[in-house]
Amino acid sequence: MVNKKPPNSNISKRKFLKAAATTGAILSIPVVNATAKNNDEIIDLRGKAADPVLPEQALEAINENANANAKRAVDQSPIPQSESDDRFVAAYLEKTGDDGVPFSYIGYTYDDERGNATEDIHKTADKVRSAMENAATASEYNNPVGNDGNIGENRHSDSAQNNQPQSLNYVGSNDYETLSTNVNDGSYWNFASRRTGESESDNGKVTIDAEMYQFDLDKDGYSNKSAWASVVTNRATPYANNLRRHVDDMEVRQDWEKNSLWDVESPGISETQPSGQIDGSYSSTVGISVGSGGASGTISWSYDQPDVTMIEETDQIGNENAAVWKYEPNVDYSSPLQAITGSQCWVESFDGSSCSIQDSTNTSLGTASNWANFNGWAGGDVEVDVTMLVPIC
């Protein structure tokens, strides 16, 4: 088994940024390259191998748009600092819905290996922009980042009875089956943000669709901490390369401290789904709830696992304050591998009672990532990660 996943590393907490968040101070970093096609609604940055979209550029573009249009600023870049030397960001788009919930797309590729990799990401970004233009809210956003690049269905709903199927899963050369990846918000959980992305190389593509939720502050029973949840659809799609086409391994993470500006409070990650170890095909309805210290509410979804082995390694050595799931196919797996994972974590509270439109802020509660190795190659690693930015004011 090939596993070249880089070790987890947490940046230092920068507590002084909290003061900036509450006073409306904005970090200002000049944009020096990349192409911007912004308007009042959508941030749209495009890059290429020699001129990629940088984390500080996305930070600057969002804050300039916030200042000009009385929208939420950010105190952390939506693009995580890359741990890869050859991966770069070819596109970043973001929109804040009419309900104040932000949603975004990030497109990575690797050194233009296939010659048209950047062009492919830009074509997907064009579809993303069109989907964003047609969505008044994140809940209405039809994520176009599917296995075959087609527009998917709306994956988010406020009740199970309104669920619509989304995403196409490859099961043959020209055959697709529809998988349900819908999330039922449950009682007392408030939809906070949605972050989507993809990363593509010669050997395959990984995608991520991360939704963030906050539990009702009046129901959680605490004044010094609040409950947050992340539910993420992860997918790894293998490409044929030198007579090989399979997913070797997939590892998905929800790091509640990596790139976060806020402390994880005891008991930290209090629930994960799925959990433990599951061998082979498995299907169930799973959920995340808050029971201790307050009323209970459940976010639920359908978890469907093919013939793979899943091992959860949450909060183990090297994975402190991180929910981690590792998947290893039990057979030569040539179809896309999909897993919907979720975790709930307690994070120190932010007092937004005195906030105004001038100092409203989106802040980072960590990083969600999806890594896979394709075709058994030492160079077959592909990873996508997104900053879990949420409105705190």
pLDDT at 247 over 80: yes
> With the C-alpha atoms ordered 305, 310, 314, 318, is the resulting torsion angle positive or negative?
negative
The one-letter amino acid at 127: K
Q: How far apart, in whole angstroms, are the C-alpha atoms of residue 370 and residue 384?
A: 5
Q: Where is average pLDDT lowest: 9-13, 46-50, 185-189?
A: 9-13
pLDDT in tens, 316-337: 988 999 999 999 999 888 999 9
Domain residue limits, the chain: 16-391
Q: Which residue has the higher pLDDT, 162 or 386?
A: 386
Tokens of 166: 């989304």
Distances, alpha carbon 211 to alpha carbons 148, 149, 349, 366, in Å: 22, 20, 20, 13
| Residue 364 vs residue 311, higher pLDDT | 311
| Direct distance between the N- and C-terminal alpha carbons of the chain, in angstroms, rounded to an integer | 45
Cβ partners under 8 Å of residue 173, min gap 6: none
Indicate the SS3 state at residue 23: helix
Q: pLDDT of 170-223, one tens digit each?
A: 222 222 233 335 777 777 888 889 999 999 888 899 999 999 999 888 888 888
Tell me which residue of 129, 84, 140, 81 sits closest to 105, measured CA to CA: 129
Distance separating alpha carbons of residues 305 and 203, to the nearest angstrom: 22
